Amino acid sequence: MPKIFYTKTDEAPALATQSFLPIVKAFTKTAGIEINLMDISLASRIIATFPENLEKDQQISDDLVELGKLVKLADTNIIKLPNISASTPQLNEAIAELQAKGYNIPSYPDSPSNDAEKDIKSRYDKIKGSAVNPVLREGNSDRRAPRAIKNYAKKNPHSMGAWSSDSKTQVATMDQGDFQCNEKSVTLKEATTVNVVLTKSDGTKTILKEGLNLLQNEIIDATILSKKALLNFLQAQIKEAKDKGVLFSLHMKATMMKVSDPIIFGHAVKVFFADVFKKHATTFASLGINANDGLENLLNKIKTLPEAQRTEIEKDITTAIQNGPALAMVNSDKGISNLHVPSDVIIDASMPAMIRNSGQMWNSKGKSQDTLAVIPDSSYATIYSATISFCKENGAFDPTTMGTVPNVGLMAQKAEEYGSHDKTFEINFNGTVSVIDVNTGKTLIKHNVEAGDIWRMCQVKDAPIQDWVKLAVSRARTTNIPTIFWLDENRAHDVELIKKVNTYLKDHNTEGLDIQIMSPENATLYTLKRLKEGKDTISVTGNVLRDYLTDLFPILEVGTSAKMLSIVPLMNGGGLFETGAGGSAPKHVQQFLSEGHLRWDSLGEFLALGVSLEFLGEHVKNPKAQILADALDSATEQFLINDKSPSRKVGELDNRGSHFYLALYWAKALAQQSEDETLKSIFTPIAERLSNSEVEILEQLNKAQGSPVDIGGYYMPDAKLIGEAMRPSKTFNTILESI
Ligand SMILES: NC(=O)C1=CN([C@@H]2O[C@H](COP(=O)(O)OP(=O)(O)OC[C@H]3O[C@@H](n4cnc5c(N)ncnc54)[C@H](OP(=O)(O)O)[C@@H]3O)[C@@H](O)[C@H]2O)C=CC1
Ligand SMILES: O=C(O)CCC(=O)C(=O)O
Ligand SMILES: [Mg+2]
């Protein structure tokens, strides 16, 4: 039986799934397709990790492990919704919620003091941060805005803040001592095994990573970020923001880069609040305060102190805020700043949002203001500085006329920085860190380090690179759009990659194609100029730029990355279809809980389902799946033409209503086709009933809005409550059940 594995995740996408999945199941069962729901939510991953602590009826299987095996099979077909990549504060919240629900799971030991705690911490660290995507992404990435979506945006442009040439907004990035400057890279001639060894200045050695197996032709690189250089840089930027009268904002990826970026974030917190951390060092140490978890965590922890002591610290924090530059805010009403929670400001989404908003972020009064966007490591910061300069010079982009920038991203098998967290270390000694070939004893890469530096190693295997080049050529051929590899001949890793790209391009017929290699900065300028002129350009990038560009361009072009088609052709033949290119939109959940309106747009899910059904049509030779896919495609088009995306405002169409319309248009398209008489006869009466009940169903759906909703939890909501909240139309439910 043809199968689709549909993922149950977290936050807004998980809410949307409650309403959308019953539609998917009802429609696809007519083609004999089985939908298997796989739970990869943060809560379920935690529960599955500690079976020995739990009652039999609380134990669950680890669906992520299962999916991790399935992605290596030829006929696997997965629809992957965005999930939470938990920062430590989020992980702690999820653990507390599960404990309160009677799950006897351990707390997260921040600083483990014995072997048992070390084991618990290492099990949790596998759940933390971006723990799902790297497991599932056994293929490279093909993300683009479908033509219909672009046309929709051209006719219905989203708001776009104007840019003026005297904007004081700027990117600040390091020019020495960072990952970019210190990178060293080698390509392995033979398969081998390496150890990462720290040699302290007194000569003693510690193995940081043992027995790392590497394949023939694999590229490895290692680099360090100097703590001293980082602190100097941060101090200078805090002063710069204050002198210039702009907001100080830090843009990191503390979720995905779960080892390095929380440390960098923590340094920014400690530098910004230097006087506070100095004065209260002993108290903070006794409370186990870790600056890497952000200011909110600190404020929560000091609540346990006697009132006088707590107020004194709070006063000192207020003074530091008053003396420093104005901080960019995440939520000015609630006083949540850029430094409160490490996972609140995530660079891929936060920088484009700022660029779309005239280069401004929000200050504590809720007004937008020019910003110093601090991106410490300079590896990829230039793409944002170049974009900002371009906007200052040429004004904002116009969604009604601008072109499009699809991306082909190298990401298979934990490529590059995205797979580096198990090889990233905060080094607490002066000395050297070396990557040593165990078989030959040869040192492949060596760095001098000082206490506090962050050392990291990345890998990218050869087969994924070959597959990536092939995918790029195939997209260039299909679209005939100029195709640019964003690689910098002045960067160690990229030098190795450029050699391979030049070699593997020869494996393909590239005649008549415009394929070039440019540094990220030049590629940005080249692409932006064309974009402004309404011309399209394919970006072919490594894993980090894939992430950045597939939020940057969609947000500018179509208002959100939720509307992206996001395909991962798995290297062994299967298909992983991601929904959109954005995240789990926590602020949508807040709106839903407070006023019963969910403005999550499921367009990404519709597009992913379309290509997933097409995959079944082609690979499993299921003609009914192809008809469902074609009908869904025309339903999505109707959905856009009739503007049935959720509105932002309570009382108007929300996610549930938008699902109703998709079902209506899908049923109509199936009723209208005549390739398959059985499907036609099933869906003709369904389309009629849905159409006749439109007013009644919408009334039932809209009545559910306007008041707070209780779904019995955040990370593990109550299945019954969430089901009721997301499916409030009896009429609609009855019609679906009758299919
Ligand atoms: N593939 C994955 O699994 C991914 C997971 N994440 C995770 O998601 C969480 C939140 O990350 P964050 O950076 O805030 O990104 P989000 O994409 O969740 O939020 C940023 C903004 O994007 C817009 N948006 C995104 N998707 C939709 C949608 N379907 N409908 C309408 N608007 C949408 C909204 O913007 P606006 O309000 O301006 O309209 C939203 O507030 C984190 O845990 C992060 O790690 C992030 C990216 C990808
Ligand atoms: O896995 C994550 O944490 C985020 C992934 C992401 O942002 C992306 O792939 O675009
Ligand atoms: Mg992203």
Residues 435/443, Cβ–Cβ less than 8 Å = yes
Q: Is 256 in the pocket of ligand 2 (CB under 6 A)?
A: yes
Could you tell me if 538 and 407 are in contact, meaning their C-beta atoms sit under 8 angstroms apart? yes
Tokens matching residue 544: 């980090």
- Could you read off the pLDDT of 77-119 as tens digits, one per residue? 999 999 999 999 999 999 999 999 999 999 999 889 999 999 9
- Is the CB–ligand 2 distance for residue 10 below 6 Å? no
Query: Pick from 589, 546, 286: which is nearest to 409 by CA?
Result: 546
- Residue among 402, 418, 375, 411 nearest 540 (CA): 411
Instruction: Return the ligand number nearest the Cα of 143.
Output: 2
d(Cα 328, Cα 365) in Å, to the nearest integer? 10
Q: Which ligand is nearest to the CA of 591?
A: 1
- d(CA 534, CA 549) in angstroms, rounded, equals 18
Q: How confident is the model at residue 696 (pLDDT cuts 50, 70, 90)?
A: very high
- At 569, is the secondary structure helix, strand, or coil? strand
d(CA 543, CA 37): 28
Tens digit of each residue's pLDDT (9 = 90 or more) over 552-575:
999 999 999 999 999 999 999 999
Q: Does ligand 1 have an atom closer than 6 angstroms to the CB of 560?
A: yes
Q: Cβ distance 80 to 37 under 8 Å?
A: no
- For residue 704, report the phi and psi dihedrals to the nearest 5 degrees: -75, -10
Residue 737 CA from chain centroid, whole number: 35
Residue nearest to atom 36 of ligand 1 (CA): 560
Question: To test ligand 2's pocket by mutation, which of 91, 257, 547 has the most ligand atoms within 8 angstroms of CB?
Answer: 547
- Tell me the CA–centroid distance for residue 546 and ligand 3, in Å: 8
Q: Determine if ligand 2 sits within 6 Å of the CB of residue 255.
A: yes
How would you classify the pairing of strands 360-362 and 407-409? unpaired
Q: Give the residue, by CA position, lying nearest to ligand 2 atom 1.
A: 130
Give distance in angstroms: CA of 33 to centre of ligand 3: 30
Ligand nearest to the CA of 346: 1
Atom 7 of ligand 2 has which residue's CA nearest to it? 547
Q: Is 527 in the pocket of ligand 2 (CB under 6 A)?
A: no
Supply the residue whose CA is at minimum distance from atom 9 of ligand 2.
547
Please tell me the number of the ligand nearest to residue 561's CA.
1
Cα dist from 133 to 85, 454, 517, 541, 577, whole Å:
9, 24, 28, 18, 12
Residue 522: per-residue pLDDT: 98
13 CA distance to ligand 3 middle (Å) = 15
Please give the share of the chain, as a percent, with pLDDT higher than 90. 99
Q: Which ligand is nearest to the Cα of residue 418, counting in written order?
A: 2
Ligand 2 pocket check: which of 143, 348, 411, 420 to mutate, most ligand atoms within 8 Å of Cβ?
348
Distance of CA 306 to the CA centre of its chain: 40
ipTM: 0.98
The tokens 């159409």 sit on which residue? 691
Residue type, 646: P
- Is the CB of 582 within 6 Å of ligand 1? yes
Q: How far apart are CA 21 and CA 13, in angstroms?
A: 11
HEC per residue, 340-386: CCCCCCEHHHHHHHHHHCCCEEECCCCCEEEEEEECCCCCCHHHHHH
Tell which atom from ligand 1 comes closest to the C-alpha of 601. 30
Ligand 2 near 543 CB (within 6 A): no
Nearest atom in ligand 2 to 547's CA: 10
Q: What are the Cα distances from residue 333, in Å, to 330, 456, 652?
A: 9, 38, 24
Kindly give the number of the ligand 2 atom that is closest to the alpha carbon of 256.
3
Q: Residue 192 C-alpha to ligand 2 middle, in angstroms?
A: 30
Shortest-distance ligand to the CA of residue 349: 1
pLDDT, tens digit, 9 for 90 and up, residues 393-445: 999 999 999 999 999 999 999 999 999 999 999 999 999 999 999 999 999 99
Give the model confidence (pLDDT) of 251-264 as tens digits: 999 999 999 999 99
> Residue 249 and residue 233: Cα distance in Å, rounded?
14
For the purposes of burial, counting CB atoms within 10 Å of the CB of 738, is it exposed (0-12), middle (13-18) or buried (19 or more)? exposed
Ligand nearest to the CA of 562: 1
617 lines ligand 1 (CB under 6 A): no
Instruction: Tell me if 17 CB under 6 Å of ligand 1.
Output: no
Please indicate whether residue 562, judged by its CB atom, sits closer than 6 Å to ligand 1.
yes
Cα 330 to middle of ligand 1, angstroms: 14
Indicate if ligand 2 lies below 6 Å from the C-beta of 517: no
Closest ligand 1 atom to the C-alpha of 350? 13
Instruction: Read off the pLDDT band of 537 (50, 70, 90).
Output: very high
> HEC string of 31-49?
HCCEEEEEECCHHHHHHHH
CB atoms within 5 A of ion ligand 3 belong to 348, 547
CB 289 within 8 A of CB 301: yes
Give the list of residues 6+ apart from residue 385 with CB closer than 8 angstroms, or none.
Answer: 170, 171, 173
Residues forming a β-bridge with 337? 329
Six-digit token pair at 90?
């989020």
pTM: 0.97
Report the nearest-CA residue for atom 47 of ligand 1: 583
Task: Tell whether ligand 2 has an atom less than 6 A from the beta carbon of residue 85.
Answer: yes
Indicate the pairing of strand 424-426 with strand 454-460.
antiparallel
Q: With contact defined as beta carbons under 8 Å apart, do 516 and 461 qualify?
A: no
Residue nearest to atom 2 of ligand 2 (CA): 130
d(CA 318, CA 111): 29
Please tell me the predicted confidence (pLDDT) of residue 620: 86
**Mutation probe of ligand 1 site: the residue of 127, 341, 346 with most atoms within 8 A of C-beta:** 346
pLDDT > 70: what percent of the chain?
A: 100
How far is the centre of ligand 2, averaged over its atoms, from the C-alpha of 649 (Å)?
28
130 lines ligand 2 (CB under 6 A): yes
Say how many Å lie between the CA of residue 562 and the centre of ligand 1: 8
- pLDDT score, position 584: 96
Predicted confidence (pLDDT) at residue 1 exceeds the cutoff of 90: no
Q: Which atom of ligand 2 is found nearest the CA of 134? A: 1
Helix (H, G, I), strand (E, B) or coil at 573: coil
Mean pLDDT of 348-370: 97
User: Is any ligand 1 atom within 6 A of the Cβ of residue 648?
Assistant: no
Residue 528 has pLDDT above 90, yes or no: yes
- CB burial string 456-486: b at 16+ within 10 A, e below: bbbbbbbebbbbbbbbbbebbeeeebbbbbb
Q: Nearest residue CA, atom 10 of ligand 2?
A: 547
The closest of 738, 686, 562, 622 to 4, measured between CA atoms, is 622
Instruction: State which H helix or E strand residue 79 sits in.
Output: strand 77-80
CA distance 129 to 244: 35
Return the pLDDT at 202: 96
Would the CB of 601 count as within 6 Å of ligand 1? yes
The model's pLDDT over 433-492, given as tens digits with 9 standing for 90+, comes to 999 999 999 999 999 999 999 999 999 999 999 999 999 999 999 999 999 999 999 999
CA 107 distance to own-chain centroid: 26
Q: Report the mean per-residue pLDDT for the chain.
A: 97
* Other CB atoms within 10 A of residue 364 CB: 16
588's tokens: 């949508």
Q: Give the integer Cα–Cα distance in Å for 439 and 432.
A: 21
The region that residue 607 occupies, defined by phi over 0 for left and psi between -120 and 50 for alpha, beta otherwise, is alpha
Distance from the CA of 585 to the center of ligand 2, in angstroms? 12
Ligand 1 centroid to Cα of residue 582, in Å, is: 4
- Find out whether 457 and 196 touch, Cβ atoms under 8 Å: yes
In the structure, what pLDDT confidence band is assigned to residue 310 with cuts at 50, 70 and 90? very high
Contact 412, 138 (CB under 8 A): yes
Listed as own residue / partner, the contacts of 51-55 with beta carbons closer than 8 Å and 24 or more positions apart are 53/103, 53/104, 53/105, 53/106, 54/103, 54/104, 54/105
Task: Give dist(CA 132, CA 121) in Å, integer.
Answer: 18
Strand locations in 97-150 (E)? 141-144
- Name the residue among 647, 645, 561, 639 with its Cα closest to residue 597: 647
Query: CA nearest 78: which of 568, 621, 663, 464?
Result: 568
